[in-house]
Amino acid sequence: MTTVVTGTTAPPRSVGTAHTRIEGRDKVTGAARYAGEVPFADLAHGWLVLSTVARGRIRAIESEAVLAMPGVLAVLDHRTAPRVNTDYSGLMGMRPDPTIAVFQHDRVPHLGWPVALVVAETSEQAREAAEALVVRYEEAPHHTGLDTDHPDAHALDGVMPGVTGKGDLEAELAASATVVDAEYTTPEEHHNPMEPHAATARWEDGRLELVDSNQGATWVTGELASLFSLDPGSVRVRSEHVGGGFGSKGIRAHQVAAVMAATLLRRPVRVVMTRRQMFSLAGYRSPTAQRVRLGADARGRLRALEHNSLSVTSTVHEYVEPAADPARVMYDADAHHTANRVIPLDVPSPTFMRAPGEAPGSFALESAMDELAERCGLDPIELRLRNEPDQGPVSGLPFAGRNLPACYREGARRFGWAGRDPRPGRRRDGRWLLGTGTASASFFAGAGPSTATLTAHPDGTFTVRIAAADIGTGARTAITLVAADALRVTPDRVRVRIGDSDFGPAMIAGGSMGTRSWSWAVTAAADELRDRLALGSDIPAEGITVRSDTAAAIGALTPAERHSYGAQFAEVAVDPATGEVRVRRMLGIFAAGRIINPLTARNQFLGGMVWGLSMALHEEAVRDRAFGGVVGADLAGYHVATNADVPRIEADWIEDHDPGDPVGIKGIGEIGIVGVAAAIANAVWHATGTRHRHLPIRPDRVLAAATADRGRPDA
């Protein structure tokens, strides 16, 4: 036995210095195995069969013919599948989306509803049989369009209340020197992580094991235990590497179907979604129809602010896209009203998608602020600075650090904003009209209770175990750096194991809360371990292990408005003859707490900004009202920005220290998106003089505006 210690003289700090991903080499060489690639003996393959009608009932499933096909082992459907329990509360107390309770009844609530799972010896056999399976339906009329006059529209609470309000809106609008009243829409958008959803289920020594691609092993374990009425300790979920999630990788139909099949067949069963199936089964961001009304006094101070958002949900589950939420943080007004409403349609259930609420909501709100600046004759940054609130406009709580003005000062300096001619349509480069725009960003900085275990080994190394998920962000590396600093050792002495529900409950990689939540738990465990080791006891062969739980500490946080902030800048070029819009450069300056790993943090900010660019100009799922499904449901039909669309982008951050916060880390996974679409739309206005209030800003929309503006298409 040896006496090993954490550092007494601390090595240079690891947090704040650039580190490449620990598993980076494994990923680029293919050594890292993803959920759909982990080998299993005796593995069977399931293929989901999805409904081809948008509403109705299953009349018949002609399984017999398919069961005779080569390699086919079973067909699970509503007549043959095990029953599951859906009467429980899952993540954050939410009721489960019944879409995950597959094969429980004959009703079809939307196109792409899972109606059967065909299991075969090989993936190819399963697919061929699944595509041959004849399912007969009794069709019923369906409705899938977001109509703003829909009679069933109703306010819905999400994580935050559906409706907030103070003051007399109409009176303040009437008394305002300047008023903006505008409607904005954003389309249905899909997450499309690079790695499709994949899960393998098996029973091993009386335990259910799932090898999965998800954003939280704890989350999936809890849902599976509830669904199948199992002791949570008898379910183990592993998720070593995850090729993107963006909110779509929680509990989904394929995992439940895999568990059902593994249970019936008593062998491992893998179910992988196709890209096309993901457009029905993986969740998506609802389209939104938003109306913003702003009223300002002669100096540009807001007297009235109203932000109403309408989104869609399915007929089986209520999910609200809270696009009106950003207004509750960003701006105060004497009359301040926000509402998130939904209408149930015959569509799949929408879900969290990177920056839920903030992404579409900031497009409307920050576009409206730009319109207000134009009408007030104020610089858009100056208008925002004049409307910096002293406290939470709705909550009344103090801000725990609000460094938005500093972001604007730094951003304006680096972007070269000073001296900008505010008049639209004045700058030209050949066939291109040029313009610049800006917008604000904010994102909630929360934390979720997590547990971590930390072991000191006799050889002087340490092992961290936490059910964190690295969905491509570099979380494994960030936790390593945090643990190294907390232990006062170099990172090479710290091993971090994540993605295993047996490590104990932990926060999901979601809501920009993962790194903040996990670091908190790891730091707490390290503090305790250092205390233990400081006593000088020898370390036994099995090591000394401590365990932390942050539930009490998080509960003890002083209530405050905790958020990250950012200022987004964009320069665009618009060809009015063809409608092409190209972004020429972008800059985002963020105040996002303590930055753990500048290398991967910059990557996350840039990735978010590219996402925002993609949202502004490209992304749009077109749902055909006649058949109720998405047309062109693949990455050729659903456009995301390509490398050629992405210009010179810079992301940077300013010092953002909150002395009252025990970890000082804020999330950075989502804020990069927020405000980008508005900054680009505002730049397109500056270039052309046309406000684009409907995303994406497609060539045909630019062309229509140019034609309407000038009377002649080639002018």
**Residues in the site for another protein, rule: CB under 8 A?**
52, 124, 127-128, 131, 276, 431, 577-580, 582, 617-618, 622, 624-627, 629, 631-634, 636-637, 639, 641-645, 698-700, 703-704, 707, 713-714
Q: Is 139 a catalytic residue?
A: no
At residue 297, φ and ψ (nearest 5 deg) are -80, -175
Tell me which residue of 713, 706, 618 sits closest to 433, measured CA to CA: 706
Backbone conformation region of residue 119, classed left if phi is above 0, alpha if psi is from -120 to 50, else beta: beta
* Of 342, 397, 387, 367, the residue nearest 674 (C-alpha): 367
Q: Rounded to the nearest whole angstrom, what is the least distance from the CB of residue 5 to another protein in the complex?
A: 53
Comparison of 264 and 646: residue with beta carbon closer to another protein: 646
Contact (Cβ atoms closer than 8 angstroms) between residue 227 and residue 520: no
The candidate with the shortest Cα–Cα distance to 316, out of 478, 98, 463, 106, is 98
C-alpha distances in Å from residue 632, one per residue of 134, 275, 276, 641, 686: 23, 11, 9, 16, 33
C-alpha span between 312 and 183 (Å, rounded): 17
Asked if 139 contacts 344 with a C-beta cutoff of 8 angstroms, the reply is no
- Of the pair 52, 463, the CB lying nearest another protein is at 52
- What is the nearest approach in angstroms of another protein to the Cβ of residue 284? 17
8-state DSSP, 487: H
Q: How far apart are CA 593 and CA 563, in angstroms?
A: 9
**Exposed e or buried b for every residue in 7-37, given b needs 16+ CB within 10 A?**
eeeeeeebbeeebebbbeeeeeeeeeebbbe
**Maximum CA pair distance of the chain?**
87
Report the alpha-carbon distance of residue 456 to residue 2 in Å, rounded.
11
| Element at 227 (helix H, strand E) | helix 217-227
Between the alpha carbon of residue 612 and those of residues 238, 341, 696, the distances in Å are 31, 24, 11
Q: How far is the CB of 207 from another protein (least distance, A)?
A: 34
Which backbone phi and psi does 313 adopt, to 5 degrees?
Answer: -135, 175
Count other Cβ atoms within 10 Å, centred on residue 94.
Answer: 13
Report the amino acid identity of residue 250. Answer: G
Bridge pairing between strands 114-120 and 44-50:
antiparallel
CA-nearest of 478, 547, 560 to 519 is 478
Q: How far apart are CA 139 and CA 241, in angstroms?
A: 41
CA-based nearest residue to 120, from 80, 63, 76, 70: 70
* Catalytic residue (choose from 240, 371, 374, 670): 670
3-state class of 340 per DSSP? strand
Quickly list DSSP for 78-126: TTTSPP----S--GGGPPPPGGGSTTSSSEE-STT-EEEEEEESSHHHH
Coil vs helix vs strand at 713: coil
Q: Which of 191, 52, 49, 188 has its CA nearest to residue 110?
A: 52
**If DSSP codes are grouped into helix, strand and coil, which group holds residue 376?**
helix
Q: 474 vs 696, which CB is nearer to another protein?
A: 696
Q: Which residue has the tokens 């080994």?
A: 457
d(C-alpha 435, C-alpha 692), whole Å: 14
Task: Reduce the secondary structure of 277-288 to three states and give it as a string.
Answer: HHHHHCCCECCE
CB of 130 to another protein, least distance (A): 10
Residue whose tokens read 């490398």: 643
CA 136, 262, 117 angle in degrees (round to 5)? 15
**160, burial (CB in 10 Å: exposed 0-12, middle 13-18, buried 19+):** middle
- Residue 446, CB half-sphere, CA atoms under 13 Å: how many? 15
Task: Report residue 645: phi and psi, to 5°.
Answer: -85, -15
Residues classed as catalytic:
670
